[in-house]
Amino acid sequence: MNHLLKAMGFWIWGLVAIGLSVSVVSVSYRMLALYRSHEVQAHPGSSPALGAAFPALPNSEMQPAVTNVDTPRIRADQPAISRAGQPMNSRILGSDIRAAQTALQNKQWSEALKNLEAAAAKSPLTAYDSKTIEEYRGIAYVRLNNLKAAQTAYEASLATGAYKAEELAKLFRLLFELAASNKQDAKAIEYGERAAAAGAANENDLLIMSQLQYQQHDCKNSGVWGDKAIAAFKEAGEPPKEVLYQLKLQCASSVNDVAGMKAALVDLIRLTNKTSYWNNLIRLERQDERDDRNTLMIYRVMFDTHSMNADTDYIEMAQLLGDAGLPGEAQAVLEEAMSSGVLKDEHKERTLRLLGAMRTRTEADKERLRAFDAEASKNPAGQLDVKLGEVYFAAGDFQDAVTALRRGIGKGQLLQPDEAYVSLGRSLTAEKDLEGAKQALAKLKSLPNISLRVLTLWNLYADMLPETVSQPL
């Protein structure tokens, strides 16, 4: 088990690294969307950068920061307003603030900063005066893509204590985005917690919080914020992001929490249906299985989900099928191994010998198929009908397979009813009767003594039947 987890761990770390690099790198660009279509107006009771409602963040914003940000509409003819709603002393700040507003409107960011520097040198300044100057500085620095300076400016504006409660919520969210883009994880977490507490964090913000906690090696809190993000995405009518479950997977892997890994992989399969996740889940389930019959049932899930990627898996599955008296299905598995390109040179001779033996046995089964059908039809027990159905399935005669399997199930007296329902589900799937296949596989839940591993995998397979399995990462 430890060897398997170690081998999977390398893959999982690489997977999470990909997810994090795409998601976290985009934070700074997504943060800049806060300014898109944003009016920067000085009017009673509002803050120049935070007065308007923040637009919703897109899922991914990877375009250049400054060139794609709309110019704010600024009323340069309106004097700046004090916190009490009265115009500030124009002799002290009025001309400099108006000049800064005009420069921002004309995208003259450096010129705006000069005007703001002049305003900051005036005295005396009220807390609201300082807040206004720092907010405008923050806007200019963002447009210049100097996000560290922008963060410093907004932190200085926060320190003035001149914010109303509704403004603080928006400011915390803005500072959260800035700190995250500046890779100041601890500060970003602090601001994110305050933004979330104020109800200003959306599902993407919660996702970033989960990532930041993960990067701090705090898997517990990463999971807490991840669950909040997942719930928020669902509430918004959107599927949760894949990286949220990848983080859960890596955290479980890091402490050898096999149950946690399985749960995360199931969630990832339900979200993406990727063959890479199927492969890893099935390997975990198969690792401790000691019953050959159950192992074959597990291999069938791997084969049917197209997630079998090792030649040794094909070979072992074919051997198990041969031992179960199903050379036709074994032949199909080995032929798939030959055509898929996964077969290693050192295994070719062995595989060809095994394939030749299975072909000989398959031809013998075909010669006696009609006699077998007649014998099974007359037998009052259903076991022969089930075996007949499996032979028909291997031969690609899915309609006759369905007929024989249903007849056998109807008669009863089956030694392994789970195999009968799985074979019926697979045959109906091949016949494109997906609803019938789901109904057949649903019968597994009511069977006594069925392997929990087998039940879990085939139930998941049934749930994913309407979907198309995608390719690995």
For 7-20, write each residue's pLDDT tens digit: 555 455 555 554 55
- In this prediction, residue 58 carries a pLDDT of 30
d(CA 342, CA 332): 15
- In this prediction, residue 31 carries a pLDDT of 45
Question: Which segment of 39-48, 321-330, 409-418 scores lowest on mean pLDDT?
Answer: 39-48
Which structure tokens are listed for 25? Answer: 């790198």
Amino acid of residue 349: E
- In this prediction, residue 456 carries a pLDDT of 96
Q: Is the pLDDT of residue 438 over 80?
A: yes
- In this prediction, residue 319 carries a pLDDT of 97
- In this prediction, residue 6 carries a pLDDT of 56
Cis peptide preceding 417, ω within 30 of 0? no
d(CA 317, CA 80): 77
Higher-confidence residue of 41 and 228: namely 228
* Distant-in-sequence, close-in-space partners of 50: CB < 8 Å, separation ≥ 6: 135, 167, 170, 171, 174
**In 231-248, which positions are buried (b, 16+ CB within 10 angstroms) versus exposed (e)?**
ebbeeeeeebbbbbbbbb
Q: Tell me how crowded residue 85 is: count the other CB atoms within 10 A of its CB.
A: 9
Q: Is the pLDDT of residue 430 over 80?
A: yes
- In this prediction, residue 36 carries a pLDDT of 40
Return the sign of the alpha-carbon dihedral for residues 210, 212, 217, 220.
negative
Q: Is the pLDDT of residue 419 over 90?
A: yes
Mean pLDDT, residues 105-116 taken together: 95
Spell out the SS3 assignment of the chain.
CHHHHHHHHHHHHHHHHHHHHHHHHCHHHHHHHHHCCCCCCCCCCCCCCCCCCCCCCCCCCCCCCCCCCCCCCCCCCCCCECCCCCECCHHHHHHHHHHHHHHHHCCCHHHHHHHHHHHHCCCCCCHHHHHHHHHHHHHHHHHCCCHHHHHHHHHHHHHCCCCCHHHHHHHHHHHHHHHHHCCCHHHHHHHHHHHHHCCCCCHHHHHHHHHHHHHCCCHHHHHHHHHHHHHHHHHCCCCCCHHHHHHHHHHHHHCCCHHHHHHHHHHHHHHHCEHHHHHHHHHHHHHCCCCHHHHHHHHHHHHHCCCCCCHHHHHHHHHHHHHCCCHHHHHHHHHHHHHHCCCCHHHHHHHHHHHHHHHHHHHHHHHCHHHHHHHHHHCCCCHHHHHHHHHHHHCCCHHHHHHHHHHHHHHCCCCCHHHHHHHHHHHHHHCCCHHHHHHHHHHHHHCCCCCHHHHHHHHHHHHCCCCCCECCC
Which structure tokens are listed for 462? Answer: 């049934």
* Distant-in-sequence, close-in-space partners of 183: CB < 8 Å, separation ≥ 6: none
Q: Is the pLDDT of residue 287 over 60?
A: yes
Which structure tokens are listed for 380? Answer: 């009052």
Q: Is the pLDDT of residue 440 over 70?
A: yes
Mean pLDDT score of the chain, rounded to an integer?
Answer: 83
Amino acid of residue 186: A
Question: Residue 312: which of 284, 339, 342 has the closest Cα?
Answer: 342
Question: Residue 257: which of 441, 5, 4 has the closest Cα?
Answer: 5
Phi, psi of 144 (to 5 degrees): -85, 0
∠ at Cα 123 (118, 128), nearest 5°? 85
Percent of the chain with pLDDT over 70: 79
For 343-372, write each residue's pLDDT tens digit: 999 999 999 999 999 999 999 988 888 899
Question: Residue 153: which of 112, 197, 123 has the closest Cα?
Answer: 112
Exposed, middle or buried: residue 392 (CB in 10 Å: 0-12, 13-18, 19+)?
buried
- Tokens 């085939």 belong to 458
For 241-275, write each residue's pLDDT tens digit: 999 999 999 999 999 999 999 999 999 999 999 99
* Most confident stretch, 25-39, 90-104, 323-337: 323-337
Give strand pairing partners of 470: 274
- In this prediction, residue 95 carries a pLDDT of 86
Q: Is the pLDDT of residue 447 over 70?
A: yes
User: 266 near 237, Cβ under 8 Å?
Assistant: no
User: 266 near 259, Cβ under 8 Å?
Assistant: no
- In this prediction, residue 4 carries a pLDDT of 54
For 45-62, write each residue's pLDDT tens digit: 345 544 332 223 233 322
- Tokens 């392994």 belong to 416
- In this prediction, residue 413 carries a pLDDT of 87
Q: Tell me how crowded residue 229 is: count the other CB atoms within 10 A of its CB.
A: 26
Q: Tell me how crowded residue 345 is: count the other CB atoms within 10 A of its CB.
A: 6
User: pLDDT band at 196, cuts 50/70/90?
Assistant: very high
d(CA 242, CA 233): 12
User: 29 near 22, Cβ under 8 Å?
Assistant: no
- What's the pTM value of the predicted model, to 2 decimals? 0.80
Higher-confidence residue of 83 and 450: namely 450
- In this prediction, residue 14 carries a pLDDT of 53
